[in-house]
Amino acid sequence: MLTLHLARGTISVAAHIALEETGLPHELAWLDFGRAEQTSESYARVNPKLRVPALVTPDGILTETPAILEHIASLAPEADLMPADPWAAAKAREAMAWCAATFHVAHAHKMRGARWADDPDAHEAMAAKVPETMTACASLAEEMLTITDGPWLLEAVSVADFHLHAIARWLPGDGVDLAPFSRLQSHAAAVASRPAAARALSHHG
Amino acid sequence: MLTLHLARGTISVAAHIALEETGLPHELAWLDFGRAEQTSESYARVNPKLRVPALVTPDGILTETPAILEHIASLAPEADLMPADPWAAAKAREAMAWCAATFHVAHAHKMRGARWADDPDAHEAMAAKVPETMTACASLAEEMLTITDGPWLLEAVSVADFHLHAIARWLPGDGVDLAPFSRLQSHAAAVASRPAAARALSHHG
C-alpha cells in the first residue's frame, strides 16, 4: 500500500494525478495548510522538511515531486507514464527539474517570501514580481510545448505533464494572462479530459 | 561526442565531475560569468534559459543538473553512477531534486536576488538570510548522510553525491561554519579523493 500525504492548492496534486492514472492501490492523508498541519509533530515524523507531497511506501518514505512522480511511474510500468527511450526520459527529467527548481520557486515567492528574507518589505517586493516571473516561466513552458505537435511535453503523456499542469494551475491566481499561451491552455484541457486525472483534480478545487 | 557548457563557481562542476568519472569522450565549452557570456546571443541558441550547465549530445541539448547527471550516468552504465535498484534510484532522484529546488535556490538568493525582486533593499534582505538558510540546508544534508554509514548518500557513490558536493562547496563562502557538519566534511573529502573527480575539481578553483 502507498500513502500520499497531500494538501489542496499545493504541488501535491501532481502526485495525486499520477496515482489515479496508474490505478495503484493507495490512501490519501490530507493536510490542511490553513491550519498549518504540515508543521505538526506527527507530520514532521513523516517529512522533516514539513512539505507536501510525501509518499509512504513499503520501502520507506519518499519526498520531492520529481522523485515521487518517477517512482509512481516505475511502480506501474503498464501505465507508460515515463518514456522507455533514454533520451525522452532525459527530457522528461529536464522538464520536471525545471518545474521544481524554477517555475515552482517563482510561484513560491508570492506567499513564502519568509523562506528567503525576514523583512516584510522584501516579501512585498518578491510578491510584486511574481506576475512577471510567472509570465516568463509560462512563456518558456509554451515554448517547451511547441517541440511536439502537442498536447504533451513529449510524444505521449508522462508524469512531467502532471507536474507542469499542477504549477500552470497557479498562473491565473499569480496574475498571469493565459490568452497568449494557447498551448498551455490546450495542455490543461488535455490533462482535465483524462478521466483519472479529472478524478484527482476534482478534490483540489 | 558530448559538449558540456560550463562556468567556474557554478553548479556545472557536478556535471563536469560526472563526465570525468565516466570517461565518456567530451569537450568543455567554458563561459566566463564575470563577462556575462551566458547572456550572449550565441549561448542563447544553446540554452535559452541562459544558465549552465547545458550538455550538447547527438540526440539534442539537455539542461537542468539532475537531468544531465542522470543522463551522463545512463550513457556509461559500467561506471555505476546511478543505482540499479529502483528504490535507491528514487532516493538519488529525491536528493538531486532537493539540491536543485531548495539547497541551490537558497544559495542563489545571495547573488541572484534580482530574479525574484526589483528592489535593491530586498536583495540585501535576501543576502542577509543566506547564512541561516544555507546552515539549515547543510544540517538537512548532514542528516541525509547519516542514513548510510557514509561517505555517500546511498550505499555507493552516485551522481547525487556530485550534485550535493557542488553546492556544499559554496557553504563557507555563504557564511556557514562547517565544524558541526562532520559528515559533510567527510563527504567532501571522499569526493576530492577520487582521481577523476579531483581532475574536474582542479579546473574550478
Residues A3-43 pLDDT 10s: 999 999 999 999 999 999 999 999 999 999 999 999 999 99
Closest-CA distance, B51 to chain A, in angstroms, reads 12
Q: Are residues A176 and A93 in the same domain?
A: yes
Please write the tens of the pLDDT for every residue from B130-188: 999 999 999 999 999 998 888 999 999 999 999 999 999 999 999 999 999 999 999 99
Q: What is the pLDDT of residue B147?
A: 87
By Cβ distance, the residue of B97, B118, B122 closest to A67 is: B97
Same domain? B25 vs B103? no
In chain A, the residue whose alpha carbon lies closest to the alpha carbon of B98 is: A64
Is A97 near chain B, with CB under 8 Å? yes
Instruction: Count up the domains in chain B and report the number.
Output: 2
Query: B102, B108, B111, B190: which is closest to B148 by C-alpha?
Result: B190
Q: Check A125 against B106: CB less than 8 A apart.
A: no
Do B10 and B90 lie in a common domain?
no
- Give the C-alpha distances (Å, rounded to integers) separating B14 from A135, B79, B103: 30, 16, 14
Host domain of residue A35:
2-79
Instruction: Give the helix/strand (H/E) hosting A22.
Output: helix A12-22
CA distance B116 to chain A (A): 6
CA proximity to A82, closest of A167, A198, A160, A187: A160
Q: Do A65 and A104 fall within a single domain?
A: no
Residue B183 falls inside a structural domain? yes
Comparing CA positions, the residue from A6, A4, A91 lying closest to residue A51 is A6
Contact across the interface for B93 and A67, Cβ inside 8 Å: yes
Can you say how many angstroms the Cα of residue A80 is from the centroid of all Cα atoms in its chain?
19
Burial of A23 (0-12, 13-18, 19+ CB in 10 A): exposed
Cβ pair A70:B64 closer than 8 A: no
Beta-carbon separation of A94 and B63 below 8 A: yes
Q: What is the pLDDT of residue A150?
A: 80
Contact between B83 and B148 under an 8 Å Cβ cutoff? The reply is: no
Residues 6+ apart with CB under 8 A from A37: A7, A31, A43
Q: Which three cell numbers stand for residue A24?
A: 495503484
Report if residue A190 sits inside a domain.
Answer: yes
Q: Is the dihedral of CA A86, A197, A110, A183 positive or negative?
A: positive
Q: What is the CATH number of the domain that holds B122?
A: 1.20.1050.10
